[in-house]
Structure 1
Amino acid sequence: MAEECNHDCSSCGTTCGADTRPKDLHEAPHELSDIRHVIAVVSGKGGVGKSLVTGLLSVAMSRKGKHVGIMDADITGPSIPKMFGVSGEVRGSEKGAYPVTTAGGIDIVSMNLLLDDDTDPVVWRGPIISGVVKQFWHDFIWEDVDYMFVDMPPGTGDVPLTVMQSIKLDGIIIVTSPQELVSMIVEKAVKMAEAMKVPILGLVENMSYFECPDCGKRHAIYGQSHIEEIAKEYNLDVLGRIPIQPALAAECDAGQIETTEADYLDEATAKLLALDE
C-alpha cells in the first residue's frame, strides 16, 4: 500500500490507481469465425509424432460428425498438408482468407499452403514466426468449427508461448515416446502449461511398441514404456498408445490419413467429446 493510499488496495485490485489485476492477453479470432473448442497438441522435443497425433485426432473427431479445423503452427516444419493430401493456395476475399478443405471436410491452414514451392525453407526469426501464427488465428475465417487442433512446433519457445498467451485453449495434449529421458521433457511441457494456466487433457505415447505381423508378439523397439509412471507422477490421464505401424506411416506419406482405420485414440476422442457436455 502506498503512503498516499487511504484504502485497502487488495479490495479493488489496484495500487493507488495502478491496475494490478491479471491482464487477459487472449486475442479474438476473425469476426466471422465461429470456433467452439481449441486444443493444442504439444511435445517437449521433436520427432515424437505430434503431427501424426494431430492428424489422427482430427480424423477421429470428423468421423464423430464434428467439423474440424487444423492450424499448423509448426511454421518452419509444416507436415499437415502432405499428410492430408492438400495443396494449392488458400482462397482470399475482401473479408479475409479461408482455410483449404480436405476431401473429408477438415479445414487446414499451414505455411506450406502459402508458399510457391512447399519445399522452400522458412528462414525467419521467432517474432516473425509468432506473428504468422497470430495471423492464422485472426486473419482467417474459420467457419462453424467444432474442434480446432493446433499442431505446435516442439519445445517451449516463441510459438508455444504465443499460442498459449494469445488463444484461449480448452486444453493441451502432450505427445511422448517410450524413452526414459522423455520424463524430463514432459515435465518441461507440464510446467509451461501450468505457468500459462492451460489445462492438460492428458498424454499420448507414440512409437509405443511394434507388433510382429507373423506371431503377434509386441516388441518395445524404443525401450519399455514409462508413460504410466509419468502420468501418475503428474496426475495425468493416458489417452492412447500408438504403435509403430508401417501401414499408417504409408498412408500419411501418401496423403491419405483420412482413409486410415487406426483407432488408437478412442480414449482421447471420448475426452474431447466430453468438452461438449
Structure 2
Amino acid sequence: MSSRNKNNSVIIPFLIGTLASFAVNYYLNNRKTVDEFIKQHADKILKKFIKNYKRKQSEDDSIPNDCPGIDSENAGKSRACDGCPNRKICNDPELKKQKENEKNQIFNEIQENLKNVKYKILILSGKGGVGKSTIASQLAFALSHLNYDVGLLDIDICGPSIPVLTKTIDSDVNYGINGWIPIYKNNLSIMSVGYLLPNFDDPVIWRGPKKNGLIKQFLCDVYWKNLDFLIIDTPPGTSDEHLTICSYLKDNLDGCLIVTTPHILSIYDVKKEIEFCKKTNIPILGVIENMFQSIFVSNYTVQNMCSDMNVDYAGHVTFDQNLIDACHQGIGCCDIDKNSTSSKEIFSICKFLAQKIYAKYSHQIDHIEPQQLTTDQTPIDNTDQNDNNNLPQEKSENNQLDETQNIMTENKDLSKTQVLEKIIRDVVSIVDEK
C-alpha cells in the first residue's frame, strides 16, 4: 500500500506538469486564435451576467408595492405598472400563456388530490391574537367528536399554532407511497409547517414564492384520504398565503368563517377582511365573535358590524375555563365536557356552518326544521370516555368502541348533503340537552 501511494505521489504531479506544458506550448503557437476565442466568449458571458444581474435587481428592488402580480388580469395594465421595468415581461403573451398553463396544471393536481374531500372551509381573521387558530382547532375537534373525518391544515407559515393547540409539537411527518402522511389524532388529520422544522421554536423567514411552494405541496402532496371537512387555518390579515390558497382552490372553496373579538380595533380590521373576501370571491359563511363577554360591551358591537357589512353573525364563543384547559391539553373542549358553555357554543357554530353550506346547495334549509330531516339512522351517542360514569354499567368499553366504528362507517357512506343534515340533527340533540 505504501509503495502504491508513493508511485501515485510521483505520477500525478508528472501528469499535471505534462498537461500544463502542452497547454503553454499550444497557447504560444496559436496565441492569436486563443486570444480571439477568449475575448469573444468572455464578452458573451459578461453580457449574460450583466443582463441577469439587472433583471434580478429590477425584480427585487423596482417592483412597485401595488404590483398586481403576473398572474393578475391587470398585469402590465394597472397604474402601478407605469415605469416598472418588468412591464414588458408582464405583457408578454407567451409568458402569460405559459404561466396560465402552469397554474391550470397545479389546479388540476390539487383538484385530483382533494377530490375525496367533501367540504373545504377557510378560517380567517382581520388581525392577530383574536383566537383564529383556537376556533379552527376546536371546530375540527367538535366535528371529529361527532365521528366525522376531518382534516386540519395550518398554512400560517411564519407562525404555526396548530401543533401547539393539538399538542403534536413532537410529531414527525413521514413520506409514503401516496405522499406526505399527516399527523393523526383519532379521525383528525393534521398538517403544519411546524412539523417540518428541525426545531419547532426556529423562526420561519421565508419570502412569498417559498411560502406559495409549500402551500402547493400541502394541497398536492399530502395524502388526506377521504375527508368530510378540511378546515384551513390561515395567517391574520391579507397576505400571500391568502392569495395563493384562493388561486389554487378557485371555485372549490365552500366558504370562510371570519374570527374577531368584541374589541373595536378587531371589529374594524374585520371589515377589511370582509372586503378582501368580496374582491377575491370567497363566500363568507359568517363572523364568529371570540372571547365574548356580556359586560363592558362596546357601543359598536360585532352584530352591528355584521348588519352594516351584510354578513351573517355565526355566533360567539365564551373564553371559559373549560376552553382554556382544552387548549392546554391539546384536545377539544367537547372532549372534556360536551355540556359546558364553550362546548355548546362551538357545536352551535358547527350547526350554523352546516346550515349555511346546506342552504348554498339546496336553498331549502330555511324551510326545514332539523327534526324534519329524513334519515334512517338513530341518534348518535356522543358521550366520550370522560362521561363513562354516566353510562349504564352493563355497557362495556368494547361495545362503545364498536358503536363508534359503526357510526364512522355509516358516515363514510353519506352524500355531501346527508353529512350536513346529520350534523344539524346531531348538534341539536347536544345543544338542547340540559
C-alpha spacing 1:184/1:126, structure 2 compared with 1 (3 Å): same
Counterparts of 1:160-239 in structure 2, within 5 Å, are 160-167=242-249, 168-209=252-293, 218-220=294-296, 223=298, 226-239=301-314
In 2, the alpha carbon distance for the partners of 1:77 and 1:57 equals 20
Q: Which structure carries more strand by proportion?
A: 1
Q: Which structure carries more helix by proportion?
A: 2
Aligned residue among 332, 337, 351 for 1:270: 351
Q: Give unpaired runs (5+ residues) of structure 2.
A: 1-95, 338-342, 358-415, 418-434
> How far does the alpha carbon of each residue in 1:184-211 deviate from its partner, in whole angstroms, 9 at most, with x for none?
21121111111111110001011111xx
C-alpha spacing 1:122/1:198, structure 2 compared with 1 (3 Å): same
Conserved in 2, the CA contact under 8 Å of 1:71 and 1:149?
Answer: yes
Conserved in 2, the CA contact under 8 Å of 1:239 and 1:265?
Answer: no
Corresponding residue for residue 98 of structure 1: 181
CA shift, 1:269, in A, is: 0.9
Counterparts of 1:130-141 in structure 2, within 5 Å, are 130-141=212-223
Conserved in 2, the CA contact under 8 Å of 1:71 and 1:148?
Answer: yes
> How far does the alpha carbon of each residue in 1:166-225 deviate from its partner, in whole angstroms, 9 at most, with x for none?
11210010001111233321121111111111110001011111xxxxxxxx433x7467
Aligned residue among 138, 161, 184 for 1:56: 138
Matched position secondary structure for 1:264: helix
> How far does the alpha carbon of each residue in 1:209-267 deviate from its partner, in whole angstroms, 9 at most, with x for none?
1xxxxxxxx433x7467111011112222112112223312321232336243221333
Corresponding residue for residue 201 of structure 2: 119
> How far does the alpha carbon of each residue in 1:125-144 deviate from its partner, in whole angstroms, 9 at most, with x for none?
12211221121111111100
CA shift, 1:90, in A, is: 1.1
Max Rg structure:
2
- Give the aligned length: 248
1:158 aligns with 2:234: no
Corresponding residue for residue 144 of structure 1: 226
CA shift, 1:268, in A, is: 2.3
Conserved in 2, the CA contact under 8 Å of 1:84 and 1:256?
Answer: yes
Corresponding residue for residue 166 of structure 2: 84
Counterpart amino acid of 1:88?
Answer: S
Corresponding residue for residue 250 of structure 1: 325
Q: Stretches of 4+ moved more than 3 A in 1?
A: 22-26, 30-33, 222-225
Instruction: Pick 1 or 2: higher relative contact order, CA cutoff 8 A, min separation 6.
Output: 1
Counterpart amino acid of 1:200?
Answer: I
C-alpha spacing 1:233/1:149, structure 2 compared with 1 (3 Å): same
CA shift, 1:165, in A, is: 1.5
Counterpart amino acid of 1:180?
Answer: I
C-alpha spacing 1:158/1:203, structure 2 compared with 1 (3 Å): same
Matched position secondary structure for 2:148: coil
Counterpart amino acid of 1:137?
Answer: L
- Aligned-pair Cα RMSD in Å: 2.4
Q: Give unpaired runs (5+ residues) of structure 1.
A: 1-17, 210-217
Conserved in 2, the CA contact under 8 Å of 1:178 and 1:224?
Answer: no
Matched-pair identity in %: 31
TM-score (norm 2): 0.53
Deviates more, 1:140-149 or 1:186-195: 186-195
